[in-house]
Structures are given as structure tokens and as C-alpha cells.
Amino acid sequence: MLLSNRVAIVTGGARGIGRGIALRFAEEGSSLAIVDVLVKEARQTANEISKKGREEVFIECDVSNSGQVKDMVSQVITKFGKVDILVNNAGIGPLPKSITDISEEDWDRVLAVNLKGVFLCSKAVVPHMKEKSYGKIINISSMGAIAPPGPNSHYSAAKAGILGLTRDLALELAPFNICVNAILPGAIRTDMFEQIIPPGANKEDFFMEMGKMFAPMQRMGTPEDIAGAALFLASDLSGYVTGDRLLVGGGSPLMRMIK
């Protein structure tokens, strides 16, 4: 197994991409800390990990709150003794909106969760990774960071900010054998994406059309697609990869380039 004896924190691990990553990591031998504000769903994910025979813990935490983040990492260290892998996945996906309709409160909240949360969680785990001279930090950005599908400037700005933060951290932490990389998912079938389904539309037909619209591979992605990429970046297969970004979108944004 690729992650035997590893300990991973997955923020936003209750559902969607985070859940998919957590379950795949468990299958590969990792112990998991599921970090989320969605208590019921997070406990269900943790229970599934336990059924796979792996150690797990659920910690309720708002990643935009520095005190809660510090306490969360402290709990993980107390339980497992170390942190090998951090997946910064927690985020909120607001509906597309013109900049003239985005309030200052909207902007602050999206940036706080989607970008500040990555900063706070990374800041909290880095000392523990340095102590072990080992670490993998995987930041979940978005294809919207480089090819926005529509007006959503606060979301796109936060996800683009993750790319800059990833490269800076990679440079700083490389001497400590800590790799920092980003994944840019394309259109992925998650609860978050279902927000944009028009009222009365058939879900399967909608997702099929979205796949044809955004991906040359003619389908939407799944959390398992992202989990496979995350597994590569979390494992020692990528031991000499840092400061990079991995696009997982079925060929996106090639579709835009050829139109």
C-alpha cells in the first residue's frame, strides 16, 4: 500500500472531493483526521474509514478560525503523534455572481475559507512536519483559477491565490523534505456543483451536458478522479515533485482553447 503508516488530515472531508480523497487514502493504509463543520456527514465518512480497518478521528473545525485550527492540529498530534499529509480541501463554492453583486461580506467569507484556511492549516502543521523532516501538503485549487467558466471573482481570486501560496510554500519548505503541490479540479460531480442545476432539470441529463460542454473527455469528473491524483501527490511516488499544479479536468481547459 502506498500510504502505510501515514497520518493524513483532510479538511472538508465530510463529503464530495474531500470524502473521496479520505476513503482512497484509507484504502492505501493511511490513518485519517476528518476535519469539517458538517458534523453528521463527517462522522459518516469517519465511520466508513473505520470499517476499512484504519484509525480515524473527526474534528469539528472552521478552517478560517486560527484558534480552532491550532486546536485541531493539537488533537491530531495527541492522537497519532505526527502529521505526514495535509490536504487543504475545505472550501465554499458560491453561485456565479457579477462583481457588482458581490458584497464585501461575501468576498471576505469566500477568501477566509478558501484561501486563509489553506494558510492557517499549513502554518499549523509545518512545524510538526519539519520535526520529522517529511511532509506532503496538497492544496485543492480549481480550474477556475486559470480559466473561469463565468463571473465569480471572489471564488476565482481565492483559488488563484492558492496557486501562489503553493509555489511560495514549496520553495520555503523544500529543504525540509516537505513537498507542496496543488490540484486543479475541473467540473466534478459533487453536492456543491448540484447548486447550479436549473429547477426542474433532470440531474443526469444536466451532468451529461455539462461534461460535453467543459471536458474533451465528454464527461464530468468524480471525487474518485481527484482522489487518484491526490494519492500520487501524497505518496512517495511524487517524492521529487514540489511547487507544481496538476489539472484534473478531463482535458479542460483545452475545450476553451480550441473554440
- Which residues are tagged catalytic? 155
Distance (Å, whole) CA 196 – CA 2: 36
- Residues 193 and 185 sit within 8 Å (Cβ to Cβ): no
> Could you say which DSSP state residue 9 is in?
E
Q: Which one, of 140, 126, 121, 125, lies nearest residue 21 by Cα?
A: 140
Which residues are bridge partners to 69 per DSSP?
Answer: none
Query: Look-up: residue for cell 456565479?
Result: 96
Which residues are bridge partners to 33 per DSSP?
Answer: 9, 57
Q: Edge to edge, what strands does the sheet with 178-185 contain?
A: 56-60, 31-36, 7-11, 85-88, 135-140, 178-185, 245-248
Which residues are bridge partners to 86 per DSSP?
Answer: 9, 137
Which burial class, exposed, middle or buried, applies to 104 when counting CB atoms under 10 A from its CB (0-12, 13-18, 19+)?
A: exposed
